[in-house]
Amino acid sequence: MRLGATLPSTTTKVNMDIEPGSSIPRKRVNSTSTADAEERQAKRLRVTGESNSKERSNATKQQKGPEITKGILTRAAHPPIQTSRSVYTYERLNQIEEGSYGVVFRAKDKQTGDIVALKRLKLDEEKYGFPITALREIHSLMQCRHENVVRIREVVVGDTLTQVFIVMDFIEHDLKTLLSLMPNPFLQSEIKTLTLQLLRAVAHCHSHWILHRDLKTSNLLMNNRGIIKVADFGLARRFGDPVEILLGVETYSTPIDIWSVGCIFGELILHEPVFQAKNELEMIGMIFRLLGPPTVEEWPEYESLPLVKTLNMPAPHAPTLRQKFSYLTSSGLNLMASLLAYDPERRISAEEALKHLYFQESPLPKHPDLFPSFPSLAAGEKRRKPFASPSAPERAKAKEEYDYV
Prior bond to 319 cis, omega within 30? Answer: no
Q: Which residues contact 200 (CB under 8 A, 6 or more apart)?
A: 146, 147, 148, 350, 354
- Strand 115-121 and strand 152-157: pairing? unpaired
| Backbone φ, ψ for residue 302 (5° rounding) | -60, -45
| Whole-Å CA distances, 111 to 91, 108, 119, 157 | 10, 9, 19, 17
Q: Running DSSP on this structure, what letter comes out for residue 89?
A: G
Q: Which of 264, 140, 150 is nearest to 209 (CA)?
A: 140
Contact 356, 365 (CB under 8 A): no
Q: Is 403 one of the annotated active-site residues of the chain?
A: no
Maximum Cα interatomic distance, the chain, rounded to a whole number of Å: 183
| Torsional class of 189: left (φ above 0), alpha (ψ -120 to 50), beta (otherwise) | alpha
Closest to 102 in 3D by CA, of 85, 117, 80: 117
The active-site residue, picked from 214, 232, 241, 257, is 214
Residue 17 is given by DSSP the state: E
- Catalytic positions: 214
